[in-house]
Homo-oligomer: A and B are copies of this chain.
Amino acid sequence: MSDLRLGVCYYPEQWPESIWQADAQRMRELGIEQVRIAEFAWSRMEPSPGQYDWAWLDRAIERLAGAGLKIVMCTPTATPPKWLIDAHPQILPVGADGHTRAFGSRRHYDFSSPEYFEAAGKIARQVAQRYGQHPAVSAWQIDNEFGCHSTVLSYSKHAVTRFRQWLATRYGTIQALNEAWGTVFWSMEYRTFDEIDAPVGTVTEAHPAHRLDYRRFASDEVVRFNRMQVEIVREHSPGRPVVHNFMQLFSEFDHYRVAADLDVAAWDSYPLGGLEEAWFDAPTKARWLRTGHPDYTSFNHDLYRGMSRQPFWVMEQQPGPVNWARWNPAPLPGMVRTWSWEAFAHGAGCVSYFRWRQVPFAQEQMHAGLNTPDNQPDIGAGEARQVASEIAVLPATLEQPHSKVALVFDYQSKWLLDIQPQGIDFNYTRFAFEYYSALRSLGLDVDIVSKEASFDGYRLIVVPSMAIVSDDFVTRLGQSGAQLVFGPRTGSKTDVLSIPSNLPPGPLTALLPLRIWRVESLRPNTALELMYQGKPGTAHHWREFIEVPVEAAVLSTYPDGGAAVIRHSHCFYLGSLFDEATTRAVMRDAARAAGLQVERLDEGVRLARRAGLTFVFNYGDSTYAVPPDATLLFGEAQVGPQQVTVFRPAALGQPGQVKEATAAAAS
């Protein structure tokens, strides 16, 4: 029995009871071991207030368990039923436009509603009591995709009331708040906490510290809501892992803090929809139309792996075209398998397909499943079956070693730079992603970690645009002994969104004694030319004017002589967002300085290592040649487009490993 397993999402309430048993049987035949159920079934569990109907669910579980499937049971709080909304209309969230959002889809609740906090706890307790000890129930999911459809922030009276309490707790006195925010500016001073509203609907932009605190508050409300349910479930179903399914690159709340209350951080992987809806330009979206971007999925794997106590899961894996992006292309044949294996290679314990069968009605009827609505296997089903058979080829247990490279990802920096971008297209996540992508194109394995993570054992730590850095963080970075790479705007703000008294990079000057005395943002049709290591490049979006100490090396300058890339002691500093090649070159040099081997991979080829194995994934058009002395576990030695190969290398000396001898060839 492998530690790796496949799962599926299933909705017995949406299908005739007559086919439940056959469904369960076919799941098992496909190699599926785990099934998630019931996360949207509240109206069937409790059709009227206080009148519960568990009989159908008992029977469904019986069918699934009878086929040998393990069950991931859910609390159904993402979809409160109409009768609850009608009884307590203030459960509904309120938008930034002041309009109350309506019943009729999902996630129509305000995290700050006391009525909903109570009702959600009540139904969670009912489900946990009923099924907490059921032998087939192997894990629990709390709610579903917190924050989806812009539901973290609500502007209701309940939210404002709780925000005032949150502020009172944080600042103690209103004088302290006025001082911290700087409300003297524009006579925005408050006399009591009760004078403070949500930072919305103002004549021009609301106060940035006010906005940042509102986002922190809203994030804390998600933490509070999740924790309440986790505690109820643990009380009634101890020993079973509690999971939440996060979303890809979603950042409206602090995922590290929610995950801290869970056993397993899971995420829902939709590579094609994700590509279409993200910041990529149109040519990039066309380039990776049917595969997804080669670094998008693994970025999420590496992020959620870092915040999960047990091996992370992909709770929902795209099995074919979806319905919710602006355009919804079909994956190329082979990609469902590729994505599945990429998850395992990056440390997943489970890959669970969404969904067993395409449902012919309601909002998601155009979302593919493993089976078509007429109950024929779709392409994804065949690829899942192949994955199941390949799992058997691998060792039962794959221990994941710590990577040598860490990238620090910080939700608060995202919020802060959204609030104060200075140029409207400044995108924190894009910076983090482009640094990650450069590292991955060099064949390196990367851990994505929080600023509170231990940095022990890392040789290279990359910190993209982390606006707020604490003294402690700087100290720990310095003590790590690692090579450090910083993006622009790192250390540019204090905890209350002010400019540090010593100017950016603020506390980071302890390691990197720069003085960034001016910044500018640049419109898209402007760019700055530069040279890095003898090759021409360009800088975009942003430029910093930096006083550089004489002891530091300026690796690249703008045409006016200003520093673009600086190296000082163990630190590299990037003062802009550069073209792909320049970013890669800086990361290459930092990795080499860290003693790490790099390998310049062809476009779309990516490597991952786990338990001494190397996994090759090919999103592109070229072919990757496995070293001739390697031992193949499965796949071809010439890894073609949309193919996966796993091999055991003959020896050490791999990219991402500490170099023993000479540097590998890399451009």
**A residues neighboring B (CB under 8 Å):** 11, 13-14, 40-44, 47-48, 76, 79-83, 86, 93, 97-108, 148-149, 151, 181-191, 195, 197, 199-210, 276, 282-283, 285-286, 289, 320-321, 323, 326-330, 358-366, 368, 372-374, 376, 378-379, 420, 422-424, 496-503, 515, 517-523, 525-526, 543, 545
Contact = CB atoms under 8 A, between A and B. Distances in A.
A463 to B, nearest CB: 21
Contacts of A79: 186-188
B520 A203 contact: no
A613 to B, nearest CB: 32
Given A48-B191, A105-B202, A501 B80 contact: no
Contact of A326 (B47, B83, B523): B523
B327 A523 contact: yes
A201 B100 CA distance: 8
10 contacts: A40-B186, A41-B187, A48-B191, A80-B187, A102-B200, A102-B203, A108-B202, A181-B361, A182-B361, A286-B523
Contacts of A207: 104-105, 362-363
A627 B653 CA distance: 72
Contacts of A363: 185-186, 204-205, 207-208
Each complex incorporates copies of this chain amounting to 3
Given A182-B14, A359-B185, A327 B522 contact: yes
A197 B86 CA distance: 11
A195 B43 CA distance: 14
Contact of A362 (B14, B182, B330): B182
Contacts of A500: 360
Contacts of A501: 360, 373-374
B422 A499 contact: no
A604 to B, nearest CB: 17
A43 B188 contact: yes
B361 A203 contact: no
Contacts of A42: 187
A11 B503 CA distance: 20
Contacts of A326: 423-424, 523
A328 B520 contact: yes
Contact of A189 (B81, B364, B379, B526): B81
Given A48-B191, A285-B525, 14 more contacts: A79-B187, A80-B187, A97-B99, A105-B186, A105-B204, A105-B206, A182-B360, A182-B362, A185-B359, A209-B362, A361-B498, A365-B497, A366-B422, A374-B515
Nearest to A14: B184
Contacts of A76: 187
Nearest to A320: B518
A372 B523 CA distance: 24
A99 B13 contact: no
Contacts of A186: 40, 79, 105-106, 362-363
A43 to B, nearest CB: 4
Contacts of A191: 47-48, 82-83
A285 B499 CA distance: 29
Nearest to A282: B525
Nearest to A423: B327
Given A184-B14, A203-B105, A525-B283, A420 B366 contact: yes
Given A359-B185, A503-B373, A98 B101 contact: no
A500 to B, nearest CB: 8
Contacts of A364: 185
A187 to B, nearest CB: 4
A378 to B, nearest CB: 7
A201 B523 contact: no
A655 B364 CA distance: 46
A518 B330 contact: yes
Contacts of A519: 321, 366
